[in-house]
Amino acid sequence: MNDEPHNTDETAAELERLRQENEELRTAARLREAREAMTAELTGAGARSPELLFGAVRAEIEFDGDGRPANLGDLIARLRRDFPEQFEQVPPAGHIDAGSGTSAPAAQTLTAEALARMSPAEINRLDWAEVRSALTR
């Protein structure tokens, strides 16, 4: 019988520890659900850094009786007002053409007439395959 009060105290302490752990787990689950819901809404609203914005208002989230976030719309509206640069839509950069402006002018087709106007030194600097092709046309 001497053990009964001791067991009762241990049981009460264990029960209190379990209640506290249960409450901590519920709070963590509610916060995780709120983060998921809010980051999804922020992403849909075009926010650049949804996780960062969530962190800015995490302490201000209110929960309804079922543990769901109740004021996300108000918080997002305030975030839009306070941090408009996070919601700006920057148009994508234009197409980048690495060869733009560097193309050589279209090569002129070598003709027999053009060859006739050239000096022997100029003809020597030409591609012989082109010269042969021009003379056979």
DSSP 87-103: S--PPPPPPP-TTTT-P
pLDDT tens-place string over residues 1-53: 555 666 788 898 999 999 999 999 998 999 999 999 999 999 999 999 999 99
The pLDDT of residue 102: 60
Provide the residue type at 109 as one letter.
Answer: T
The pLDDT of residue 26: 92
The pLDDT of residue 136: 82
Angle between helices 50-57 and 72-82 (to 10 degrees): 110
| pTM confidence score | 0.55
Task: Give the separation between CA 40 and CA 17, rounded to whole angstroms.
Answer: 35
pLDDT tens-place string over residues 95-136: 777 666 665 555 668 888 888 898 888 888 888 888 888 888
